[in-house]
């Protein structure tokens, strides 16, 4: 496999709207407001992850789990309202963001549904909502995935694996300490599967699905960013060599022009530059004659 094949096409990744989400690019105020809401929306959606497992693991979920869904729904709704109002075409902007509309309604409904431990259809609904939330969170982080963003990707990968390790430590009974949770998170995300630690409960297996998806995305982006950095270093070296050769050829042309001017008689070079060619003078004379004849 060539390294060029692993290079990260960041321009296509950052410019795509994924057909379900849209960034206002024509209005600077709306675009600025959308950027201001990225982190609050991301944090509000992040809180729904422990709420999902609280609904799944506990027979009587705490009240904060339902309020976490309400908070996420209100945050997404407020962000979408403010951005759409600044675009000048709110209805069109809402139609271009169906995922946010689904999240607003889905989070509000998830807060009112019975606990997932008591209802299989409520669990299925919250599971679909969790996939949509994951999609929206990754889309919110797309601005960090740039050609020179290897440091950002490394930080994101460490944070994701750390959060997955804490999650396994919380919900998996075979991981009694944080180290075991981190090890299970790494082997799951990297799809190694040594077999010394495996998810044994339904909640841990559902969590492992998300860990595998996040692991594929994060590790692939880090590998592609490293490959892109190597490719860029080679391309930069070729560009520097090309510019050096071009400067050298321009300097040689200047020396040749200076030598030609030095051998020309005095005033010849300026006369050649100021006097147009004979063919152009003849063309102008014919045009003037044609104009007089037409009049």
Would you give per-residue pLDDT tens digits along the chain (295 residues)? 443 444 444 444 444 444 567 777 667 888 888 889 988 998 999 889 888 888 888 778 888 999 999 999 999 999 999 998 888 888 888 888 899 999 999 999 999 998 888 888 988 999 899 889 988 887 887 766 665 566 777 787 888 888 888 888 988 888 888 889 889 888 888 888 788 888 888 888 888 888 888 887 777 777 777 777 777 776 777 777 888 888 888 988 888 888 888 777 765 555 544 545 555 555 545 454 554 444 4
Using a 10 angstrom Cβ sphere, with 0-12 exposed, 13-18 middle and 19 or more buried, the burial of residue 191 is exposed
- What are the Cα distances from residue 195, in Å, to 9, 135, 173, 184? 35, 29, 15, 9
Contact 229, 193 (CB under 8 A): no
- What are the Cα distances from residue 172, in Å, to 46, 53, 61, 193? 20, 12, 18, 16
Every domain of the chain with CATH number 1.10.287.70 lies at 147-233
Q: What is the pLDDT of residue 12?
A: 45
Give the H/E segment covering residue 217.
helix 202-263
- Pick among 3.30.2010.10, 1.10.287.70, 3.40.50.1820, 3.90.226.10: CATH of 147-233: 1.10.287.70
Token reading at 149: 């963003």
* Phi-psi category of residue 9: left, alpha or beta, with phi > 0 → left and psi -120 to 50 → alpha: beta
Contact 232, 146 (CB under 8 A): no
Token reading at 25: 């690019």
CA distance 113 to 235: 56
Contact 56, 117 (CB under 8 A): yes
Token reading at 169: 């430590």
């Amino acid at each position: 496999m060539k390294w060029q094949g692993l290079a990260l096409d960041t321009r296509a990744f950052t410019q795509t709207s994924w057909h379900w989400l849209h960034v206002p690019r024509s209005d600077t105020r709306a675009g600025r407001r959308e950027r201001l809401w990225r982190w609050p929306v991301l944090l509000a959606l992040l809180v729904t992850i422990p709420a999902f497992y609280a609904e799944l693991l506990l027979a009587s979920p705490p009240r904060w789990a339902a309020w976490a869904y309400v908070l996420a729904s209100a945050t997404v709704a407020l962000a979408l309202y403010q951005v759409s109002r600044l675009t000048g075409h709110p209805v069109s902007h809402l139609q271009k963001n169906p995922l946010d509309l689904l999240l607003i309604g889905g989070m509000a409904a998830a807060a009112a549904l019975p606990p997932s431990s008591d209802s299989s259809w409520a669990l299925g609904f919250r599971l679909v909502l969790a996939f949509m939330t994951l999609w929206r969170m990754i889309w919110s982080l797309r601005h960090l995935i740039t050609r020179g963003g290897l440091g950002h990707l490394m930080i994101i990968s460490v944070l994701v694996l750390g959060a997955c390790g804490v999650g396994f430590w919380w919900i998996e009974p075979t991981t009694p300490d944080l180290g075991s949770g981190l090890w299970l998170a790494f082997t799951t995300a990297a799809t190694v599967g040594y077999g010394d630690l495996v998810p044994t409960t339904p909640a841990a297996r559902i969590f492992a699905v998300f860990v595998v998806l996040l692991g594929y995305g994060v590790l692939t982006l880090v590998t592609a960013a490293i490959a892109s950095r190597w490719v860029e270093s080679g391309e930069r070296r070729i560009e520097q060599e090309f510019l050096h050769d071009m400067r050298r050829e321009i300097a040689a042309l200047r020396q040749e022009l200076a030598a030609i001017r030095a051998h020309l008689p005095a005033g010849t070079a300026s006369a050649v530059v100021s006097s147009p060619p004979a063919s152009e003078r003849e063309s102008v004379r014919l045009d003037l004659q044609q104009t007089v004849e037409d009049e």
